Amino acid sequence: MPKTKTKKSKYIFLFLRVLVIAAGVVWVIVWIFHGRRWSNLTSIFRQMNLGVFAILLSAFVICQAIVGFRWWLLLRTQSILIDLGAAVRLNFLGLFYNNFMPSSVGGDFLRAWYVTRHTDKKFEAVLSVFVDRLVGLSSTLIIAAFFYTLFMRTHSDAVTFTGPTGSFKFLAEYKRVIITLVVILTVVLGGLLLHKRGRALLRVAWLHIRIHGIRAIEKLKDAVRVYFSKPLTILAAFGLTVFIQIMLITGFWFLGKNLGITADLRYYYVFFTLTWVLGTLPVSIGGAVVVEGTLAYLFIHYASVEAEAALALVLCQRIIWILASLPGAVIHLVGAHLPKDFFVDYDKPVV
């Protein structure tokens, strides 16, 4: 029965993610064919230089190879030695799963699974994937915060996240709901504590969490100690991530200029990084619709970009992501991701 419920829940979440994408696509189609928007959008794409698009696509593919190199460095820090080519292939395979499977972290689980099947350092292998994702997200947030503070905070058109018109004003609007949920959870916990069987269940749950938590914490401490013992590797991973993202965002700025968008580069550094972080939430498949909608909204309302031009820019980003994911599909089809293709733990071949 629990397995059936779990499977049913997965199908429900998949349906909801697909529903988000379908609703967004239908809305965009209706919006495009209202008035002269379709003709405006097609004229914008006609003026786009395909050479600029091809260069940006190539740069994105190269950057994904560098991301694979970053993960390879983090694996070696934990003495999990796999072939660099295998790390790059698995990263492209993960990229394909991220953009086409119903979870933005599906590729991360895939990478972790293939390494943990062939090494005794299973916890460290999973941790390397987590650290790799953490390095990417934290670097993205640092870039967004840096450029927002440097260029946009003191401007009248700055994006606000608090206050009556802030992007997170819903926290104030729904504070009663939040308080109600906290009260309900408190009452449920209190009821369990007052009931004898409830206390027994809590005691067993706490013991289970405590035993496994202590083991996990000890492994985590050992793994983190290894990472801190090699700060240059972590700094190199951060440096590679910042370089990749700065290069890609600058490339999208050039593409935007080619599409007729005159917005300053500072908007790109803040808006793209914020939406990339937002895209990691498992709301839709690969952040589709959510990333595009948020990015277009930011450019339209804060950078005074025409709606059709903003839509063209975000569609170009999605097309680049899809095309750059296709090598992962090829890797999967030809079996280049299989364990026999790489070496793990001190260069011992996997047979």
Residue by residue, DSSP assigns 222-268 as HHHHHHHH-HHHHHHHHHHHHHHHHHHHHHHHHHHHHTT----HHHH
Using left for φ > 0, alpha for ψ between -120 and 50, and beta otherwise, residue 289 falls in left
Token look-up 């990472």 returns 227
Q: Is residue 209 part of a domain?
A: no
Average pLDDT taken over every residue of the chain = 78
Q: Is residue 142 part of a domain?
A: yes
Domain range for 105 is: 55-159+234-282+299-349
Tokens (6 digits) for 154: 């003191």
Q: Is residue 334 part of a domain?
A: yes
User: Which H or E run contains 210?
Assistant: helix 196-229
Check residue 325 and give its pLDDT: 92
Min mean pLDDT across 18-22, 90-94, 280-284, 339-343 is at: 339-343
Q: Is residue 320 part of a domain?
A: yes
Q: Is residue 188 part of a domain?
A: no
Check residue 69 and give its pLDDT: 94
Q: Is residue 153 part of a domain?
A: yes
Give the residue among 249, 240, 217 at the shortest CA–CA distance from 317. 249
Sign of torsion over alpha carbons 251, 257, 259, 264: positive
Residue-wise pLDDT for 148-192, tens only, equals 887 665 554 555 544 444 445 545 555 666 677 677 767 766 766
Report how far residue 111's alpha carbon sits from residue 116's, in angstroms, rounded to the nearest whole number: 9
Q: Is residue 324 part of a domain?
A: yes
Give the N- to C-terminal CA distance of the chain in Å, as an integer.
Answer: 38
Q: How confident is the model at residue 247 (pLDDT cuts 50, 70, 90)?
A: very high
Query: Considering its fold, how many domains does the chain have in total?
Result: 1
Q: Is residue 173 part of a domain?
A: no
Check residue 347 and give its pLDDT: 47
Give every CB contact of residue 261 below 8 A, 6+ residues apart in sequence. 299, 305, 309, 310, 313
Report how far residue 266's alpha carbon sits from residue 241's, in angstroms, rounded to the nearest whole number: 18
Q: What is the pTM of this model?
A: 0.74
pLDDT at 133 over 90: no
Check residue 159 and give its pLDDT: 53
Check residue 77 and give its pLDDT: 83
Answer for the pair 67, 248: CB distance below 8 angstroms, yes or no: no
Report how far residue 350's alpha carbon sits from residue 347's, in angstroms, rounded to the nearest whole number: 9
Best mean pLDDT range from 35-49, 182-196, 278-292: 35-49
If one counts every other C-beta atom within 10 angstroms of the C-beta of residue 243, the result is 13
3-state secondary structure of 282: coil
